[in-house]
Structure 1
Amino acid sequence: MMHSTEVLVVGGGGTGTGIARDLAMRGLDVTLIDRGGLGIGTTGRSHGLLHSGARYAESDAAGARECIVENDILRDIAGECIRDTGGYFVRLADDDPEYFEEKYQACLEHDIPAERISPEEAREAVPDLAEDVEEVMVVPDGVIYPSRLVAATAADAREHGAAIYPDAPVTELLRDDGRVIGAAVDHGIGKIHADHIVNATGAWAGQLGDMAGVDIEMKPTRGVMIAQEYDGLDIVLNRARDPDDGDIVIPHAEQVVLGTTSVEVEDPDEYEKADWEIERTIEECAEMFPPAAEAPETRTYWGVRPLYAPEEAETGGARGISRGFFVLDHEERDGVEGFTSVVGGKLTTHRMMAEAAADSIAERLGVDEPSQTTEKPLYASQDPEQLDELVAEFDIDGPSDADVIGSVQ
């Protein structure tokens, strides 16, 4: 069977569905495929933090500014895909006060709303906060429900004419004289010819790049998340120290999600899941939030970050690799026409990543329509029941928000 489309997007996570939505809204004929259900790669195996930018404020000014901009946009367009909790950055007695001060000042410099409150005020909202809290800063962090976000974005793309195919793995990229012209797709789809192919496969971008004959220097890292029973936390907790294992606690309705570690992996499909990561994450989170030490675990899962680290950008450690994103125009970079990759980034900045990639592709295809994705709400974003129906329709089965999906009565 033969299909034709203007743009074929490979990868159905936050960025891939965002690209499909953006390009479809510009009037392009778009097809999106994913090897499994949508959003079950990095997107659906994240801790689901809606970053304010405060985590990066003192170390990555550009990334911090991107986060606060996208934080505001997602609150406007994503409705029930987002939980507006706010966040605390908490300094414990053994943590460096100069680091806390530097982060606070950097937040103010980068227009990230930040306010100091006393430990006593913080405990009014979080009675189980550790006793040795010295300083607390309030920032506009929040929670993303990735399954709903991907479902709403894919449905919005479809409303604008895009074709969406979950469970459609690429077996081969079709090439002709230095140009990628389509893909052979399994599970009865057949061949899809396209004017342009987009590689939005996240941690797997290097593998699809190999099919196109280009080298994409990915350095994926794994991280563990532990969901526990706990009813009553209504604000994101961050440890105010250099990013390390076990420094984030994400609230859900009757659970919390603890995260996370950062360990390099060779293969994003096959990697060790070490018990020490679970133990360390719980131990470290419990220093800031003592109930984590004993709360019953409901699920434990690992995700793989799609870090892009070409040799010239090496920084000497997994946590030092940029969390920024990159749009790789392979015609310009490698002499391979009809192929673009978008790599790196964070879930919070997925819409911005999608817009940047869509801008590049639209220019290649001679399309002048601008992006409209900052202004229009996502499809069904105010209806949690419909969102959860779409999650099922698109075969989204990520563990990040498994306790939330379908819980609406």
Structure 2
Amino acid sequence: MERPTVLVIGGGATGAGIARDLARRGVDVTLVERDGLASGTSGRSHGLLHSGARYAEADGPEARACLEENRTVRRIAGACVRDTGGLFVELEADDPAYFDAKRAACEDVGIPTRVVDGAAAREAVPDLAADVDRAMEVPDGVVVPSRLVAANAVDARDHGARIRTHAPVISMTVEDGRIATVTLGGDADATLRRPDYVVNATGPYAARVAAMAGADVEMRPTRGVMVSVEYPGLEPVLNRCREPADGDIVVPHDGEVVLGTTSVAVDDPDDYERGDWEIAETVRECAAMLPPVADADRVRTWWGVRPLYEPDEAARGGRGISRGFRLLDHADEGVENCCSIVGGKLTTYRRMAEATADRVCERLGVETECSTADERLPAASDPERLDGFVREFDGQGPTDADLVES
């Protein structure tokens, strides 16, 4: 029967990042995940490494955080990232005032941009739609999430953490205002007793896990479809320069592009409708930017569920506004040794992990500073070893199935 100092529940990018951060500070930590690593939101995204430009006019501080973490992840993650650049393209039907506002907001945030006319944009992307009036270059990139999550887990393990996959949390007990036991099923089949602290990093499942401890997390999970089609040779990420909507992003891989996405509220992140209309609309809208994808052969289709925090979504008006994160301390609800980290995005996973680890260390009296922004991930320059880590943790997700050696 293990008695971990800190138990982290959830093996996506944020959970693995928290385990890495805590382990590097010398904290005894166990990470548990109900399936393989990156099996949830992290491994079912479109894989965009945000420059911050998408959010610049809506939320300057969050856009700045994206830019800073974009640079950090590139520095520490090596072959977990592809440096593609990005283009925000304005079609003839799009409002030029929105383009101008985004460009000005990017300048205020410090996001490097360069505006080119339609002809120059089509030189860079020959199949770009004929009615592209102008485009704005931004430092977007592509994340290979299976590698990123696995590398974080390996670094955590190298610093003493225990990583337990296929170990779903079945139940918890609370005694005297503290989580006393956590029962694991699956391959683990164990009970963890009296952890000093428990971190709920389960994304869209955060409400379900918090409820086991008698805590309340208001979530508004939304589903989005991604469609991968055969299309070799695209270099930059393509973003439609308009108010965020369905089918406004094309993410390049080696011989494919990922088209995304939709946003539809779901009640259950495990059991939800997957509508054919979402696929058709996503392909149609992305083809407005890059016409050949309309008839390209489809390789795979998948849905992901965003871990959105209900109060923030209600306050911001829903889709299209920023995707910041929230760290919820359940001591306010009488559970002294538990917090939940919700919201956010893949690009800012490390910052989310740092904020959470800071809170945990404050509670434990640990004064060691965070080092995850400065230390490169294990095997960052060795794709074959990174893919070996993915296999070890059963971590392959659909986002990067064409990039990771199975």
TM-score tier (shorter): over 0.9
Which residue of structure 2 lines up, in the alignment, with residue 148 of structure 1?
Answer: 147
Q: For each residue in 1:286-313, what CA deviation from the matched residue of structure 2 results, as whole angstroms up to 9, or x when unmatched?
A: 0011011101000000000000012x76
**8 Å Cα contact 1:15-1:354 kept in structure 2:** yes
The alpha carbon displacement at 1:121 in A equals 1.7
The alpha carbon displacement at 1:17 in A equals 0.2
**Amino acid aligned to 1:202:** G
Which residue of structure 1 lines up, in the alignment, with residue 82 of structure 2?
Answer: 83
Which residue of structure 2 lines up, in the alignment, with residue 257 of structure 1?
Answer: 258
Q: 1:97 to 1:320 in 2, by over 3 A?
A: closer
Which residue of structure 2 lines up, in the alignment, with residue 231 of structure 1?
Answer: 232
Q: Percent identity?
A: 58
Counterpart CA distance in 1 for 2:363 and 2:138 is 39
Which residue of structure 2 lines up, in the alignment, with residue 329 of structure 1?
Answer: 329
Which residue of structure 2 lines up, in the alignment, with residue 339 of structure 1?
Answer: 338
**Amino acid aligned to 2:190:** G
Which residue of structure 1 lines up, in the alignment, with residue 348 of structure 2?
Answer: 349
Counterpart CA distance in 1 for 2:108 and 2:382 is 37
**8 Å Cα contact 1:262-1:318 kept in structure 2:** no
Segments of 5+ residues of structure 2 without an aligned counterpart are none
**8 Å Cα contact 2:245-2:320 kept in structure 1:** no
Q: For each residue in 1:56-115, what CA deviation from the matched residue of structure 2 results, as whole angstroms up to 9, or x when unmatched?
A: 000111210110000000010000000000000000000000000000000000011111
Superposed, 1:116-195 pairs within 5 Å as 116-187=115-186, 188-193=188-193, 194-195=195-196
Counterpart CA distance in 1 for 2:376 and 2:336 is 34
The alpha carbon displacement at 1:123 in A equals 1.4
Counterpart CA distance in 2 for 1:39 and 1:182 is 25
Determine whether 1:32 maps to 2:21.
no
Counterpart CA distance in 2 for 1:112 and 1:239 is 17
Segments of 5+ residues of structure 1 without an aligned counterpart are none
The alpha carbon displacement at 1:316 in A equals 7.1
The alpha carbon displacement at 1:397 in A equals 2.5
SS at match of 2:229: strand
Counterpart CA distance in 2 for 1:399 and 1:141 is 21
**8 Å Cα contact 1:173-1:211 kept in structure 2:** yes
SS at match of 1:158: helix
**8 Å Cα contact 1:181-1:197 kept in structure 2:** no
**8 Å Cα contact 1:314-1:321 kept in structure 2:** no
Superposed, 1:103-118 pairs within 5 Å as 103-118=102-117
**8 Å Cα contact 2:234-2:252 kept in structure 1:** yes
Which residue of structure 2 lines up, in the alignment, with residue 196 of structure 1?
Answer: 197
Which residue of structure 1 lines up, in the alignment, with residue 282 of structure 2?
Answer: 281
How many residues were matched structurally? Answer: 404
What RMSD in Å do the two structures reach over aligned CA positions?
Answer: 1.1
The alpha carbon displacement at 1:320 in A equals 5.0
**8 Å Cα contact 2:220-2:307 kept in structure 1:** yes
Which residue of structure 2 lines up, in the alignment, with residue 303 of structure 1?
Answer: 304
Counterpart CA distance in 1 for 2:134 and 2:315 is 30
Counterpart CA distance in 1 for 2:13 and 2:101 is 32
Q: 1:23 to 1:328 in 2, by over 3 A?
A: same
- TM-score normalised by structure 1 residue count: 0.97
**Amino acid aligned to 1:10:** I
Q: 1:83 to 1:296 in 2, by over 3 A?
A: same
Counterpart CA distance in 1 for 2:161 and 2:234 is 39
SS at match of 1:40: coil
Which consecutive segments of 4 or more residues in structure 1 shift more than 2 A? 315-318
Counterpart CA distance in 2 for 1:400 and 1:177 is 43
SS at match of 2:399: coil
Counterpart CA distance in 1 for 2:231 and 2:181 is 48
SS at match of 1:4: coil
